[in-house]
Amino acid sequence: MRVRPLDDARTAVTAMDKPRTIHDFGGFPQELFEVEYPAPGSPPLAARVRELLVPIEVQQDQDWGLDHGAWSVLVHVFPDANVPVVQLSLDASQPPRYHYELGARLAPLRDEGVLIVGSGNVVHNLGRIQWAADAKPYDWASRFNETVRAHLAAREHQALIDYASFGGDARLSVPTPSTICRCCTSSPSRSGRSLSLPVDGIEYGSIGMITVAVGL
């Protein structure tokens, strides 16, 4: 499962048997546009997601498919594309608290054998990217990354929900709320599952690579 924000502020889940691969980006090498990720969908899982999110109205989507936020990650984790994938969109008009509570509703899926993935970068300022392999992280990016890491490790979820209180570092690191909302939606469960941070660091000055694994 991948979480994707939609500009039209709706909540929808892919419910088709064979989701198409979507290349929703521009300006990247042609090789990326040639990637196909033919993972099967799962209408029963989509129905289960809809059931868990009641009373939130969730559309059963038959059109979108898997965008790059899903397949660009899954192609490395499940290269044979042999695991059913369901993608959930986020309501971009809602605040982080809404998405955190949405994630809590989805928590039973973990006990049902479903891997929940919220993809994206917590520090995600495309306008400040430095296109050099050895680019040093901006100070504000490093500070915000460290702050998020500390609160994740301590399971201090309320602090993440109130990320805007971190001031200028938050405004620069999260110019739009979609990435932090994914973090809130896929946040560690309250059930005491193990937590690790297997990947970290800042790439190109303003793109954070922190990764949180829960229950693995």
**pLDDT confidence bin for 4, thresholds 50/70/90:** very low
Per-residue pLDDT at 94? 85
User: 134 in a domain, yes or no?
Assistant: yes
Same domain, 74 and 21: yes
Chosen domain end from 93, 111, 140: 93
Per-residue pLDDT at 109? 92
User: 103 in a domain, yes or no?
Assistant: no
Cβ atoms within 10 Å, residue 200 = 13
How far from 189 is each of 64, 151, 152, 192, 198, CA to CA, in Å?
29, 14, 11, 7, 18
Per-residue pLDDT at 133? 85
User: 214 in a domain, yes or no?
Assistant: yes
86 sits in the region (left: phi over 0; alpha: psi -120 to 50; else beta) called beta
Same domain, 35 and 76: yes
User: 211 in a domain, yes or no?
Assistant: yes
Chain segment 116-175, per-residue pLDDT in tens: 888 888 899 989 999 998 999 999 999 999 999 999 888 888 998 999 999 999 999 998
Cβ–Cβ < 8 Å for 15, 62: yes
Chosen domain end from 73, 93, 113: 93
For 199, residues 6+ apart whose C-beta sits below 8 A from its C-beta are: 209, 210, 211
Q: Supply the range of the domain harboring residue 79.
A: 1-93
User: 104 in a domain, yes or no?
Assistant: no
Task: Tell me the average pLDDT across 78-104.
Answer: 89
Choice between 99 and 1, residue whose per-residue pLDDT is larger: 99
* Buried/exposed code over 121-151 (b: 16+ C-beta within 10 A; e: otherwise): bbbbbeebeeeeeeeebbebbbbbbebbbeb
Task: Tell me the average pLDDT across 13-20.
Answer: 96
Per-residue pLDDT at 16? 96
Per-residue pLDDT at 51? 96
Q: Which residue has the tokens 């500390």?
A: 150
Cα 20 to chain centroid distance, Å, stands at: 19
Tokens linked to 60? 């059963």
Per-residue pLDDT at 190? 53
User: 215 in a domain, yes or no?
Assistant: yes
How far from 108 is each of 115, 157, 182, 191, CA to CA, in Å?
11, 18, 18, 11
Chosen domain end from 74, 93, 112: 93
Same domain, 86 and 143: no
How far from 194 is each of 116, 160, 212, CA to CA, in Å?
15, 19, 10
Cβ–Cβ < 8 Å for 50, 102: no
- Structural domains counted in the chain: 2
Choice between 28 and 146, residue whose per-residue pLDDT is larger: 146
Per-residue pLDDT at 29? 86
Tokens linked to 205? 């000055």
pTM across the whole model: 0.83
Per-residue pLDDT at 61? 93
pLDDT at 193 over 80: no
User: 105 in a domain, yes or no?
Assistant: no
CATH code of the domain covering residue 153: 3.40.830.10
